[in-house]
Structure 1
């Protein structure tokens, strides 16, 4: 039998892996935003990406219900926005976007956050339960690049910045 790794140990070890920071958003009836770093490109042909969302997160229900979502890739100066969408005490529903500069994605209606380095709009094509998360795979419907150069990273439990 394989010994089980304690969640705290797993979190500590994985904190040593630098990741980019995104805000995942869903529009429509289940409008919601969430900061995440479990995100990756899956395929170029066809264009697919994945994001992992906890079963207990509000976002899990939002993505599962709406089946369309957007990704805003955070720039180095957007740490306050990343912290805001990671805060479980922020308002839910449409009110969470009242103080945020955004526009609805033309393909999904999901909020695209102003000032991001890039944006992707996706249609949910697959969902796989794995442990306490679901792996959502989306077909990219549209993508665009912003004007920023430096990215926001998460490493060792802290936000960091790339430098060009």
Structure 2
């Protein structure tokens, strides 16, 4: 499957029950796709038992930022095993709060989505999370100059 090029997204959620102000969590994903236009549905594959899997089982609202090739470092930060705490990862990440989901959405992303979980399907060592798109935003004109961040054969790539 490393021969299949994939777009790179950051999936995020806000956990209002974690501490006095709540906490944010995020994960880099390449297993993300559009499922339906009517109704607007997307799917993300989340590793079973991960922090994000646990959070999305409790918190039905989440966000997706479609990353540009200029955001390679952001993708890498949220993909690292044994990484810093989620709180530190978001500390200096330019982001805005989703109006509907409260999830952090990366500034400068090619597009952002706010979603509500419609269905969770166990699939091997992952959970397939189907979300209804509640809101979407695209980068302003000229914001797509960098192009999409892609992942192919174990490395981040850019389109030529």
Settle same-fold status: TM greater than 0.5.
yes
State the partner residue of 2:137: 144
Structure 2 gaps, min length 5: 17-22
TM score, norm. by length of structure 2: 0.89
> Distance between the aligned counterparts of 1:125 and 1:56, measured in 2?
19
Say yes or no: does 1:156 pair with 2:153: yes
The alpha carbon displacement at 1:58 in A equals 1.0
The alpha carbon displacement at 1:45 in A equals 0.3
Q: Which has the higher helix share?
A: 1
Larger mean CA deviation between 119-128 and 142-151 belongs to: 142-151
> Distance between the aligned counterparts of 2:83 and 2:90, measured in 1?
10
State the partner residue of 2:9: 22
State the partner residue of 1:6: none
> Distance between the aligned counterparts of 1:86 and 1:100, measured in 2?
15
TM score, norm. by length of structure 1: 0.87
Larger Rg: 1
State the partner residue of 1:129: 122
State the partner residue of 2:19: none
Q: Is the 8 A contact 1:26 1:110 kept in 2?
A: yes
- Structure 1 consecutive aligned stretches of length 4 or more whose deviation exceeds 6 Å: none
